[in-house]
A and B are shown apart, each in its own frame.
Chain A
Amino acid sequence: MQRIGIFLKNNMKLKAVLLFFCLLAAGTASAQHSFVAEAPRVVGLNKPFQIVFTADAEITGFTPPTFEGLNVLIGPTPSHMSSTQIINGKRTDFLQVSYTYVVEAKAAGKVKVSSASAVLDGKTYSTKPLEIEAVATDDAADARSSGDDAENTSAGRRGASGEVSNEDIYLRLTFSKTNVVKGEPIIATLKLYTRVPVERFEDIKFPVFNGFWSQEIETPQNINFTEEAVGNQIYHVAVLRKYMLLPQQTGEITVNPAEMICQVQVMTSRGLPRSIFDDFFDTYQTVKKRVSTQTARIQVRPLPGGAPASFGGGVGDFTMQVSMSRDSVKANEAASMIVEIQGKGNLNLIESPQVELPADFEKYDVKISNNYTNSVNGFSGKKQFEYPFIPRSEGIFTIPPVAYSYYDISKGRYVVLKSDTLRFRVTPGDSRQAGPLVSGMNKQSVVSLGEDIRYIYTGSPRLVRDGYFFTGSLYFFILLGAIVLIYFVLYKLLRRRARLRGDTLRTRNRKANKIARMRLKLAQSYLKENLASSFYEELHKALMGYISDKLAIPFADMQRETISRTLEEKGADRTVIEEFMQLLDDCEMARYSPEGGTEAMEKEYEKAINIISGLENKL
């Protein structure tokens, strides 16, 4: 069983209030007094009710108020109440002086009671003017039968049947709006309306707001009833809970009913006929009454499309401020960048804005601190996003503008907030002097910040017709042909040149024998004349010239070794070569020391002819 508060009768509550004021007065200094007026806010037409002016000191002069539209039935009736309490030798005095009027509303509508004033301890106090609403109730008949407790009577009337109707007591869950955009704050109020006295509540099931972010913004500990006119009825109304809701889904969201059981006091009578005493000895019976709200439906529209990239879910009206936590930033020292979102709306749900700190900075998680209060328009206040970082190198850095966008409900569009570009200098840190350890420079590898494709090719497009290839194209084959052609042309040219050179050799070869014979003939003539040295010279010439021409050896290269090797290569007989060499040696000897005489010369001549003819056959 949950006991939240007790409501019995209007005047009982009045007493409680008075008592409270007395306590208050006793607690505060005696020099301070209070003078208040008390009256129900809503009354039935032609139903008498009390207006009480209460002071906590002796009233020396009381100026009554004016009652517009009210009939004063009785009053003012002064009453005086005092008590003295001694607790542990400490004495406290209570004093309460009141003037009570019993009045009645003459016509439906608002009536005013002007302020009354009283002189307390030589000082004049006045009450606030009262405004009372008079309602023409349906059961006007009840007005006569009972006193000031309209609800009591009606409860009693129904109590005869032992039931409490749904109109006597009911729960209402009201919403400030039922057609909202996603994220727009709604205030939901859970109220209990009653015309019967409620003793206590139990089994309270508060509504569950699925699809909403919800927060209770009012959770009264004591339930205070106020009068409120609903239609032609006067109800005692108590606010049980007040919620702030932020829709998180779109579409029609259903709020399940809230429910509670009220223990209601109903008057019972012991059947007919009613004795005259029955009215005196009304017996009250406690009846349990289950009350519940109706299922509520709220239409949540989605936010319009085309939200900017920087949209962080904010709905309302915001401003943004961007700052650095400190004016000068040193390398290797922590600092932070602060983004403050200020305004009204779903502050609690907005995401942290995107801040692009320089890539070289060491970044840490965003710190979020809230400083906002609940209000009818959602939260108002500010939310602070702190982006801590440690710059690892000095230099001038630029933080690009922070963009943050929200949905403005009243304008019905997205609003983009944009800060300025932040430029700041990171001064060299003094971390090196800080410790005894000299830490080396931190080498770091180049970190890939994000993978992206390489940039487009911007040079010449080198366009060709579809399917065109140089390979196998006409140009390709022309080039191939050209190379082969050039090869053959060069080949022909080179070969012709080589052949020409080869022809001179051949002629020399062919003529070698002839020349040799001519020389031999000349030698023979020298032989006849017995000119030994000339003979040998000519003979040597003939031999050498023949070999030079025949073997295509230049005259300069005529060495014994070259000759014998070349001859061997050409396939001459070994004996012939040796003979040839012998003859050459003899010739050279005889040229400078001729001694053999004619016979020897003739012999050599014969030999030369034999060798040449022998070689001629071989070569």
Chain B
Amino acid sequence: MKGIVRLSMIICFLAAAAGGYGKDLDSLWQKGNDAYSIGEYREALSAYKAIEEQGYESAPLFYNMGNAYYKLKENGRAILYYEKTLKLDPADDDAENNLKIAQQFTLDKIDSVPDFILATWTKRLMDSMSSDNWAWLGIVMLALTALLLLFFRFAPSTGARKLSFVLVCITFLTVILFFIFAFILKSRSDSRDYAIVMVPVSSVKSAPNATGGNVFILHEGTKVSILENVSQWSRIELSDGRQGWIPAGDMEII
């Protein structure tokens, strides 16, 4: 199954490559990796940034950028890029590991409200693959469903038809589930709901203006969810449920 997914992905990327990037980006990527390997992190970062500025993105790119920022001790940015990586590919093990390490250097410790156990399981299942992989898997399952349906229609024996009917039901449900996952993950990537605090210290106010009272203080690298934006201010919520207003410039959207 994975082989098929891979193969079809390669085909897809070849198609994307045909319409998009060429040698230029590849050499930038190589240059960045080479610079990183000899410890020239700033140089590596500038190469990666050049790729990003040309309007391309990918989980490996963001992951490497996160690493470079981490090595340059810009922890907030490192966390931002690891989060970006995970947003594109929630199954990226390395990014998750490095994010955890980078988060050890952040100052804020926020206890998140525990989720309903079923929701956690669903989320974990959904995060085990990227949106595109779910989509490919869904398509493969759909093809299987179609085959089973044909079998159901034209099977000579009643027993085979009964079995194929059950299988058709199951596969069709999985197809729907996979496509739901794929689209949820896609919409999550498209959303601009989360941000990372980028300044060393930012005071969160009770109102979207500088005169509002301070509610709490956040430090670099903390992840917040954005609820709404009013001019230069964003209303944010922490994972423990506290809310406040923060200058939009103090953070960067994942």
Contact = CB atoms under 8 A, between A and B. Distances in A.
B94 A457 contact: yes
B15 A487 contact: no
B101 A468 contact: no
B94 A454 contact: yes
A475 B15 CA distance: 10
A481 B187 CA distance: 22
Interface string B26-67: 100100010010000000000000010001111111011001
A231 interface: no
A20 interface: no
Interface in A251-306: none
A463 B70 CA distance: 22
B25 A470 contact: no
B132 A461 contact: no
A465 B36 contact: no
Nearest to A469: B186
Given A464-B16, A498-B154, A471 B135 contact: yes
Contacts of B57: 463-467
B131 A454 contact: no
B126 interface: no
Interface string A460-485: 11111111111110011001100110
B12 A470 contact: yes
Nearest to B9: A470
Question: Which of A455, A457, A466, A476 has the most chain B CB atoms closer than 10 A to its own CB?
Answer: A457
Interface in B93-133: 94, 97-98, 101-102, 131-132
A452 B97 CA distance: 10
Interface magnitude class on chain A: 35 or more
A456 B36 contact: yes
A454 B85 CA distance: 14
A450 to B, nearest CB: 11
A494 B132 CA distance: 33
Name the prevailing secondary structure of the A interface residues: loop
Given A469-B189, A494-B150, A456 B67 contact: yes
B133 to A, nearest CB: 9
Given A456-B64, A494-B153, A475 B58 contact: no
Contact of A469 (B9, B13, B131): B131
Contacts of A472: 135, 182-183, 186
B186 A456 contact: no
A453 B61 contact: no
B101 A452 contact: yes
Contacts of A490: 146, 150
A479 B60 contact: no
A453 B70 contact: yes
Contacts of B167: none
Contacts of B60: 457, 459-462
A309 to B, nearest CB: 14
Interface in B206-238: none
A486 interface: yes
Contacts of B189: 467, 469
A458 interface: yes
Contacts of B29: 461, 463
A557 interface: no
A461 B51 contact: yes
A487 B61 contact: no
B20 interface: yes
Contact of B56 (A451, A465, A498): A465
Given A463-B21, A464-B57, A490-B150, A453 B101 contact: yes
Contacts of A480: 139, 142
Contact of B63 (A457, A483, A484): A457
A8 to B, nearest CB: 71
Contacts of B70: 453
A491 interface: yes
B185 interface: yes
A174 to B, nearest CB: 47
Interface in B131-154: 131-132, 134-136, 139, 142-143, 146, 149-150, 153-154
A461 B61 CA distance: 6
A457 to B, nearest CB: 4
A458 B63 CA distance: 11
A463 B183 contact: no
B182 A471 contact: yes
Contacts of B21: 463
B64 A494 contact: no
Contacts of B143: 483
A498 B156 CA distance: 10
A466 B56 contact: yes
B58 A462 contact: yes
B95 to A, nearest CB: 9
A470 B59 contact: no
B132 A470 contact: yes
A120 B16 CA distance: 114
A467 B16 contact: no
A471 B60 CA distance: 19
Given A462-B58, A463-B21, A463-B51, A470 B94 contact: no
A283 B65 CA distance: 93
A460 to B, nearest CB: 8
A483 B102 contact: no
B55 A466 contact: yes
Nearest to B179: A471
A531 to B, nearest CB: 43
A323 B62 CA distance: 47
A466 B21 CA distance: 12
Contacts of B154: 494-495, 498
Contact of A471 (B25, B26, B186): B186
B5 to A, nearest CB: 11
Contacts of A475: 12, 15
Given A453-B102, A471-B132, A490-B150, A462 B67 contact: no
B33 A456 contact: yes
A468 B16 contact: yes
Contacts of B185: 471
Contacts of B33: 456, 458
Contacts of A470: 9, 12, 131-132, 135-136
Nearest to B56: A463
A471 B133 CA distance: 9
A451 B70 CA distance: 13
Contacts of A461: 25-26, 29, 51, 58, 60-61
Contacts of A469: 131-132, 135, 186, 189
B20 A471 contact: no
Interface string A424-458: 00000000000000000000000000011111111
Given A464-B57, A465-B56, A466-B55, A471 B134 contact: yes
Interface of B: 9, 12-13, 15-16, 20-21, 25-26, 29, 33, 36, 51, 55-61, 63-64, 67-68, 70-71, 94, 97-98, 101-102, 131-132, 134-136, 139, 142-143, 146, 149-150, 153-154, 182-183, 185-186, 189-190
15 contacts: A455-B67, A456-B67, A457-B60, A461-B29, A462-B13, A462-B60, A463-B58, A464-B57, A465-B57, A471-B183, A480-B142, A483-B139, A483-B142, A487-B146, A495-B154
Given A465-B20, A472-B182, A480-B139, 13 more contacts: A454-B97, A454-B98, A457-B94, A463-B61, A464-B58, A465-B16, A470-B135, A471-B182, A472-B135, A475-B15, A476-B135, A479-B139, A491-B150
In the A-B complex, the 7 residue pairs with the smallest Cβ-Cβ separation, listed nearest first, are: A470-B132, A487-B146, A457-B60, A471-B135, A453-B98, A471-B182, A463-B56
